[in-house]
Every structure is written in structure tokens, then in C-alpha cells.
């Protein structure tokens, strides 16, 4: 069973963004599986680095759409993105220093991602769809 499961509640009804969200969920699930399988910290650090990289890629995509279509709430949404990127970098730094990735970390990732999608990302959905974004 997955740590985070995709549900219709998480859909922003923009296929390109939904697919990216599914990828983020998949990476978090891979990281969770690695922890439960007792994989070495080096393997987990690799998946955490993948998560951090893909998160930046995804946020860049959203922010490019915000600029392109002049999304009015872009600044606050970008602040939320910046906050998560900083937290992921801190997790990477701790992990690289030898700190184990804990269930608390996974709880944070799950809560942040699902709440961000269901609140922040849902708020731009109608706006971007009205501009023809798919």
C-alpha cells in the first residue's frame, strides 16, 4: 500500500499539473518504501535528492504559468513554494550529515503536499483552466 495515494480530491483538473503531482507522490512513496525496506542511507539520500530536484522543476513549471497568465495570487503561492524548497534543502543537509529520515519527515511531506495541492493549487485551478491551460 502506498504512503500517499492519488485521489480525485487531489486533481486540479489540469492534466499536465496532475501528472507532475502524481510524480511527486511517486517519489515520496519510493522514499517511504526505501525506508521500510531498510535501504542504506545513501539510497535514501539519492531519492531525497530526486524529490528536491523534481519539486523545483514542478514549481518552476507552475510559476512560469503564473507569469504567463498573470495569476494574481502568484506572490503568496511562490512564497509557499520557496518555503518547501528551503525545508527540503534542510532535510537534504541533515541527511547528508548522517541524520536518518524519520517517520516525522514523511508525515511532514504528506501533510505539506496534500494540503498544498488541496488548498493552494486548487485556488489557481479555475483561473488557469479559464486561460486554456491543460
- At 104, the pLDDT band (50, 70, 90 cuts) reads confident
Domain ranges of the chain: 10-130
d(CA 21, CA 134): 14
**CATH T-level topology, domain 10-130:** 1.20.120
What pTM was estimated for this model as a whole?
0.94
Residue indicated by cell numbers 511532514: 108
The answer to whether residues 134 and 12 touch, using CB atoms and an 8 Å cutoff, is: no
pLDDT in tens, 91-101: 999 988 988 88
Amino acid at each position: 500500500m502506498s504512503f500517499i495515494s492519488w485521489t480525485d480530491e487531489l486533481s486540479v483538473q489540469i492534466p499536465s499539473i496532475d501528472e507532475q503531482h502524481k510524480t511527486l507522490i511517486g517519489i515520496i512513496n519510493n522514499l517511504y518504501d526505501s525506508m521500510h525496506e531498510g535501504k542504506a542511507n545513501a539510497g535514501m539520500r539519492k531519492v531525497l535528492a530526486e524529490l528536491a530536484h523534481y519539486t523545483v522543476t514542478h514549481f518552476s513549471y507552475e510559476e512560469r504559468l503564473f507569469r504567463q497568465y498573470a495569476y494574481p495570487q502568484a506572490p503568496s503561492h511562490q512564497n509557499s513554494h520557496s518555503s518547501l524548497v528551503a525545508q527540503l534543502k534542510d532535510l537534504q543537509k541533515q541527511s547528508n550529515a548522517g541524520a536518518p529520515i524519520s517517520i516525522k519527515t514523511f508525515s511532514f511531506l504528506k501533510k505539506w503536499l496534500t494540503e498544498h495541492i488541496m488548498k493552494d493549487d486548487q485556488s489557481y485551478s479555475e483561473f488557469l483552466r479559464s486561460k486554456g491551460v491543460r
